[in-house]
Amino acid sequence: MIRQIAHRGPDALAVARLPNAPVVMAHCRLSIIGTEDGAQPIHQTDDILVVNGEIYNHEDLRAILGDSAFETASDSETILHLFRSGASRWISKLDGMFAFVLATRDRIIAARDPLGIKPLYMARLGEGVAFASELKAFDGVPVTSVEFIPPGGLYDTRDGWRQWYRTPHGAAEAEEGLDVEHTAKELRLVLEEAVAKWMVADVEVGSFLSGGLDSSIIAAIAQKVRQETGRGPLRTFAVGLEGAPDLAAARAVAEHIGSNHREWVFTADDLAEALPHVIYHLESADVDLVRSAIPTLFAARLAREDVKAVLTGEGADELFAGYTYHHGYVDDPRALADELTRSLGTMHNINLQRVDRITMSESLEARTPFLDRELIDFAQSIPAELKLRKTDPATVESTGPTTEKWILRKACADLLPTDLVWRKKAQFDEGSGTVEALQVALRKLLGTDRPVDREQEAALYERILREQFIDADRILENAGSWTDERVAV
């Protein structure tokens, strides 16, 4: 099982057994924090632990729990000592992105971060249970009833299931007297804190830079953090076809913020060659997920040449109403707030699955500061009518009759060139040129000169997936797919 997901951590691979208990754990490590002594599984007395992800408040927790109790510099060890503290809601003190399995001689606990940034699956294995970060770990293993641990969920063999975190419901209309200027300023401060927190590492952290609003905001703030802490320029990475809008926009942003920027130009042939890799690691044949995963792969490969971790802009669209279909809610702030809350809860098997699987296929850790817990709480308290706003096209603070992510743009307007801050959004696969080049690649793979329709594209992706797995039906049954209402709105 661990060899099938060894790409997630090439720095070390270890297997450990808990004495006098039917527990075996394995871990493949990508060393980011505690690089010298943070090996896993972490085995202390009668407890054993494996963790995927990062605990960003681990230093604060160490101070509270007592540093003398720790045997390593690893952030992951914090989980073990919090559990041992006996507090009833100990897991809620963890701030970060994580999935873990902890076992004692008579108990197993498995849990996942609030929005499911890091994956975790559970399956039945005979009379016992098996856990893994990816579905492919179970391929060829005689497990049954595979399911994901839900975001913000905890499974305990002693006490059963718990939902330890619930996404706060979004506000709709502004209360009378709400100071919009102060709200924007506070959002900026919360966002800056989130980016600084999510840059904590013992290795260099870079940033994806598509040239769009979200990744540009993250990169601009990250560059400020590096300057304020006396480090060199931020490394930023962009990909696209020759002449793609994303490449030009990313170049302009990089020059504006002063980052150390690299870009890679891909071709239709590169797309055709990458498809089997993308579909295997994505663990889904969903057309929209596959399309968006391709440029993510190329960006990950480029970044991994220089860094082990990157910041990304995922989550801004769900928090601040950034998708085109959100415009259909402009006259109903309550419905928009409800939709944003709903979509946050589905990210784990859509965009977050894409980002995690594809970056980790290249042994690169992707970090999503927009999904910081404190930022989620604050963003959900901002009225939806400030996120999607009817604006006067004659003013600078506008992208047209309706402006998505209005409050986010306002909060970060001084960070970036005005034309970027207020321009319309383009999807990553559109701005990078993937959609057009993919049509060329699909025709080549299918041996046809005719346009390939969506149905043919979906059938090809499923065929490619089935060719790579022993039990492809299990993968497809549990696969992430873009199955919400947004296409119909």
Q: How far apart are CA 136 and CA 78, in angstroms?
A: 29
Q: How far apart are CA 426 and CA 269, in angstroms?
A: 23
Q: Which residues are CB-neighbours of 238 under 8 A, at least 6 positions away?
A: 208, 209, 210, 211, 246, 247, 250, 251, 254, 261, 262, 263, 264, 299
Q: How far apart are CA 429 and CA 351, in angstroms?
A: 13
Q: How far apart are CA 249 and CA 252, in angstroms?
A: 5
CB-side exposure of 182: number of CA atoms within 13 Å?
3
* Strands 153-156 vs 160-163: parallel, antiparallel or unpaired: antiparallel
Q: Comparing C-alpha atoms, which of 247, 214, 484 is closest to residue 346?
A: 484
Q: Comparing C-alpha atoms, which of 121, 70, 80, 79 is closest to residue 97?
A: 79
Phi/psi-derived region of residue 248, left when phi > 0, alpha when psi is between -120 and 50, beta in every other case: alpha
Check the annotation: does 239 bind a ligand. yes
CB-side exposure of 101: number of CA atoms within 13 Å?
20
Q: How far apart are CA 460 and CA 211, in angstroms?
A: 31
Provide the β-strand partners of residue 55: 96
Residue 405 has which token pair? Answer: 């992510």
The DSSP element (H or E) to which 423 belongs, if any, is none
Check the annotation: does 51 bind a ligand. no
Q: How far apart are CA 348 and CA 14, in angstroms?
A: 27
The DSSP element (H or E) to which 91 belongs, if any, is none
Q: How far apart are CA 138 and CA 276, in angstroms?
A: 19
The DSSP element (H or E) to which 471 belongs, if any, is none
- Which residue positions form the known binding site for ATP? 239
Binding residues for L-glutamine: 75
User: Could you tell me which residues are annotated as the binding site?
Assistant: 75, 239
